[in-house]
Amino acid sequence: MTVVAPFGLSVRDEALEAAVQTGLAAVEEGLLEATKSDVPFITEAAQHLVRAGGKRFRPLLVMLAAQFGDPHAPGVVPSAVVVELTHLATLYHDDVMDEAAIRRGVPSANTRWDNSVAVLTGDFLFSRASNILADLGPEAVRIQAQAFERLVTGQILETAGPSEGRDPIDHYMEVLSGKTGSLIAVAGRFGALMSGASDSTVDVLTQYGERIGMAFQLADDVLDIASESRESGKTPGTDLREGIQTLPVLHLRAAAERAGLREDLELCALLDGDLTDDARLGEALERLRVHPALAQAKRDTIRYAEEARTMLSALPRCAARAALEGLCEAVVVRTG
């Protein structure tokens, strides 16, 4: 039997399959329970994205990390609910900042209602996550608080942009480490910690989570340009059209500044123009797909995936380790 996890990962072990499926089902129930309110409108708004689905990558990582201790320990499922609630809350806020119209195939909360409702709903989810967290002890509260600080810092750095003289690519990696890597690192850490795994195992799975989180985010950057379909869950070129400076674009701009080749400068000018026009967007995608900048972004993505895999060498060989290694392989497949 096979449980299909995010990004086409297959866990080919019956015992692990059962554990993961049971755990994720419990997380789903926990998410619905945590988003209930005595006020029906709040329940509707808070469950808007929960019911829209999603990859549930963070809870999956919690479940896999918990296999290195007692996966049935009482704190495992609640900690996975906390991480996913935090992630969902950031999506409500992100959609307001980005003026997004669609999220997970449904109208974003700010579109369906308004910005105020979206922001307050995100705050509501943060409060529910904190309430659950309080039962997990002061160490868990501190871990979450530190990760949340990193997450917000990453968002602020993205908004502010690189400081004068700062390498835009280094700045971008710092942003992603805060915005994405921090919370996925917590997923690995909570799973191991709540299951009673050793301190060294907790450290390994925390570092693994940070790196695999970076790898998947960078893979999305690559797929926004490289994919011919909706492999990444959104229409190819979405980031380009919205003017988001992803890693391939940053590599292109660095090359243009370094060598000043006419073709690179022209492509930069095209990206700086109006990409709401389908023909212009199509031309930009076509030219980026054959540019060395995309190949460099793929190499960077794979490097993070390989770093994540290397971290796992300190863990005992088992089905859970094989599944975590499978996530690293999935990154390579996605960017291929």
pLDDT given at position 122: 86
pLDDT given at position 246: 94
Is residue 181 domain-shared with residue 94, that is, in the same domain? yes
**pTM score > 0.85 for this model?**
yes
Domain contains 192: yes
Assign residue 216 the CATH number of its domain.
1.10.600.10
Domain contains 221: yes
Domains: count for the chain: 2
Is residue 104 domain-shared with residue 191, that is, in the same domain? yes
Is residue 16 domain-shared with residue 164, that is, in the same domain? yes
Is residue 20 domain-shared with residue 118, that is, in the same domain? yes
Is residue 225 domain-shared with residue 172, that is, in the same domain? no
User: How many Å apart are CA 212 and CA 205, to the nearest integer?
Assistant: 10
Is residue 193 domain-shared with residue 272, that is, in the same domain? no
Q: What is the pLDDT along the chain (336 residues), one digit of tens a residue?
A: 234 454 445 556 888 988 899 999 999 999 999 999 999 988 988 888 888 877 888 999 999 999 999 999 999 999 999 999 999 988 887 767 766 666 666 767 677 677 788 888 888 999 999 999 999 999 999 999 999 999 999 999 998 999 999 999 999 999 999 999 999 999 999 999 999 999 999 999 999 999 999 998 999 999 999 887 554 455 788 888 888 899 999 999 999 999 989 999 999 999 999 898 899 999 999 999 999 999 999 999 999 999 999 999 999 999 999 999 998 988 878 766
Residue 164: CB atoms within 10 Å = 5
Domain boundary among 169, 197, 225: 197
Is residue 176 domain-shared with residue 80, that is, in the same domain? yes
Is residue 253 domain-shared with residue 109, that is, in the same domain? no
pLDDT given at position 248: 96
Is residue 246 domain-shared with residue 324, that is, in the same domain? yes
Domain boundary among 170, 197, 224: 197
Is residue 232 domain-shared with residue 182, that is, in the same domain? no
pLDDT given at position 157: 95
pLDDT given at position 105: 61
| Domain extent at residue 274 | 198-335
pLDDT given at position 237: 86
Is residue 48 domain-shared with residue 136, that is, in the same domain? yes
Domain boundary among 197, 219, 242: 197
Domain contains 2: no
